[in-house]
Chains A and B, each alone.
Chain A
């Protein structure tokens, strides 16, 4: 219902998936995005995603590693894949 947007949101990281290429393996039936998929197309585990999100925060804002990890954990706690 959020603003009537029909766009799918990745269940594992919350990224909006706008185009086919945003989906894991370009497969629009998947509920997760290309950043949350392993090479074989399966979804990453909690620990893999936590490590990935932590480095994402460090890369984008340069935060302290522990602070970035806390933020990543908090964010994941709100997403359907990790509830």
Chain B
């Protein structure tokens, strides 16, 4: 990559990082591209050089967030880790972008179709990691046999409920930091034999 390309790629990444921070604060539907430009110290036009539409920018940001979570989980777990280790890694990944994740799930019904579909793929990737371990454990009779989609939906339903209602569960601190251990323990109890 030559200098010019490098510079272009750096600017693009910087816009993405700045956008994540601003979306975390003001939400995915309310944040204006001009706010992101101001935060990133670039002109409004520069944003559109890198992302032709606001929708493109938002999609890229959601994808990037999904890759960060997937990468974090990959770092923390291996193929024969336990369900507990996997769920801990999942919450760690979310916890690092808690505010962004809360905005993402709270506003998902208001987002355009392609952004919603990106969220579907992020969740399927996580569910797939869970089912690979869960199916093995079901074979070994260490956890109850159940459809893996329901197992994942039960877990994500629990986690997302606490996060969406952050104002009720942890108004002044991190939901993940405060409830992570309790939620994982409860979920393991539900699925264990």
Q: Which residues of A contact B (CB under 8 A)?
A: 1-3, 5, 14, 16, 18, 56-63, 67-68, 70-71, 74-75, 78
Contact = CB atoms under 8 A, between A and B. Distances in A.
Describe B's contact surface by its main secondary structure: helix
Contacts of B118: 74-75
A59 B149 contact: yes
Contacts of B1: 1
Contacts of A71: 116-117, 120-121
B161 interface: no
Contact of B114 (A16, A56, A63, A74): A74
7 contacts: A56-B124, A60-B127, A61-B152, A61-B153, A62-B149, A71-B116, A74-B113
B193 interface: no
B120 A16 contact: no
Interface of B: 1, 9, 13, 63, 67, 70-71, 74, 113-114, 116-118, 120-121, 123-124, 127-128, 131, 147-150, 152-153
Nearest to B13: A1
A1 to B, nearest CB: 6
A56 B128 contact: yes
Contact of B74 (A16, A59, A70): A16
B157 to A, nearest CB: 11
Contacts of A18: 74
